[in-house]
Amino acid sequence: MRSSRSTPALMLLGTGSNVGKSLLVAGLCRLFADRGLKVRPFKPQNMSNNAAATAQGEIGRAQALQARAARIAAHVDMNPVLLKPESERGSQIILQGRVAGHLSSGDFSRRGDFLPKVLESFERLSDGADLILVEGAGSPAETNLRARDIANLGFARAAGVPAVLVGDIDRGGVIASLVGSHAVLDAEDRAMIRGFAINRFRGDVGLFTPALDTITRATGWPSLGIVPWFAEAARLPAEDALDLARGAPARAGALKIAVPVLPGIANFDDLDPLKLEPGVELVFVGPGSALPGDAALVILPGSKTTLRDLARLREEGWDIDILAHRRRGGHVLGLCGGYQMLGTIVRDPLGLEGPAGAAPGLGLLDIETELTPDKTVREVAVEHSESGTTGRAYEIHLGASHGPDRARAPFSVDGRPEGARSADGRVVGTYLHGVLTSDSLRRAWLEDLAGKPLAAGQAYEPAVEATLDRLAEHLERHLDTAALLELARSRS
């Protein structure tokens, strides 16, 4: 194995969270992979409940997309530390793909203890690679967290990886955020940043040219490009729950699907294929709003904290809305944690997702669930019980569910029934994520729900691939990719 120090690498930092780093890394992965380079994405530490299953364990969904963009299989070394929020004050630790305990917000300095594992994963990932593209987390200018940082410049300095700082002009204040970041960093941290880029620009780029000079004079960093708004980003799996507002638009005569957004919502990219269906209107319902009475289907998505989210669902009155929807003949689909909520009771005797306890479910499925320490993380081949349609899916969950409605399982995995269905077929639950990416399965299910043929939608997987290709072309036009590659190769 050659030393990771000899592998070209470049880190993309952001002036804040959700500035588009994940998307930029994905686009650059596709761009350089298509030039024939062996590219691998890496994020030292991620904080997200949107996870993906790999053959070795779980990682952040964004790194799985970046691996796909690089045309390679996802691996746990691409995201060695994944923090999955369980409350406002603590997270579950996923270390190199496996559960490794809990981290409270008051003990965040412990993150520095994970640096040896982060560097170990980076070393393995570097072996045989032509280029590593590293994504930071949040902002490197959070000086209160710098002493034990492993996500941004703490990693960059430990691994000797040069960085580019990305600012998001769409949220405003991009000049101040870039110059301000420079101002609060110490000299050694500043030296790791070799340039800056502007993301999500709308309008006439020429109007911003004087600002580039302002930033360069104040920081000494050269501009590496201005990336215009890429509207097609909505077609790619989102990492952050902040992106949930981008549902499918209202369409006359469309099949309306309502999704209550709960605090612990997880793996919400399960819903992305529905956004590409012209016959579907996907509505995300936030706190303080009732579920729409004209919805044909209510989906309870995955949850990292099932009991907490079940309590919040009741606080919002959404349990009343769902039961009324059911009485009107509506359909309900529960995915993973949402599946658990549909049963008669959910038990967490060991306090695996919060305080130990139990609570009655919505009672729409005759099943009981108990959370247990063994976590299921796997990719599977799945068959739809009614149509015989096959596809791929994955599981990431604690515990198991049992009860009479499991006898009418909607799917089978390895010849065994998976999930549960009510006697009239209007309520369905499953632990499987990603089943809706199967175009034939999704289409048969939607048309059965609507009771009529629907206009043909886009094939989901080819749409994702085409969007990644167009993103790479977009970045090639607007970023100085030669300079980025030169920076990566200048690493020592």
Tens-place pLDDT, residues 84-123? 988 777 888 999 999 998 887 667 667 678 999 999 999 9
Query: What is the pLDDT, as a whole number, of residue 70?
Result: 98
Q: Catalytic residue among 75, 397, 433, 474, which?
A: 433
The angle subtended at Cα 435 by Cα 57 and Cα 79, nearest 5°, is 25
Query: What is the pLDDT, as a whole number, of residue 246?
Result: 54
Q: Residue written as tokens 């980025």?
A: 484
Q: Half-sphere exposure of 279 toward its Cβ, with a 13 Å CA cutoff?
A: 18
Mean pLDDT of 266-286: 91
Q: 379 exposed, middle or buried (CB, 10 Å; 0-12, 13-18, 19+)?
A: middle
Q: Is 101 helix (H, G, I), strand (E, B) or coil?
A: strand
Separation between Cα atoms, residue 123 and residue 9, nearest integer Å: 12
Q: Report yes or no: 403 and 415 within 8 Å, Cβ to Cβ.
A: no
Residue type, 202: R
Calculate the dihedral angle through the C-alpha atoms of 106, 112, 113, 119, rounding to the nearest 10 degrees: 150
Q: Is 188 helix (H, G, I), strand (E, B) or coil?
A: helix
Structure tokens belonging to residue 356: 């130990």
Instruction: Note the pTM of the prediction, 2 decimals.
Output: 0.91
Least-confidence region, from 61-65, 157-161, 263-267: 263-267
Active site residue 29: no
* Main-chain phi, psi angles of 486, to 5 degrees: -65, -40
Q: Catalytic residue among 336, 384, 397, 478, which?
A: 336
Query: What is the pLDDT, as a whole number, of residue 1?
Result: 42
CA distances from 218 to 42, 117, 180, 205, 221 (A): 30, 36, 9, 20, 8
- Residues counted in the chain: 492
CA distances from 466 to 232, 272, 469 (A): 10, 15, 5
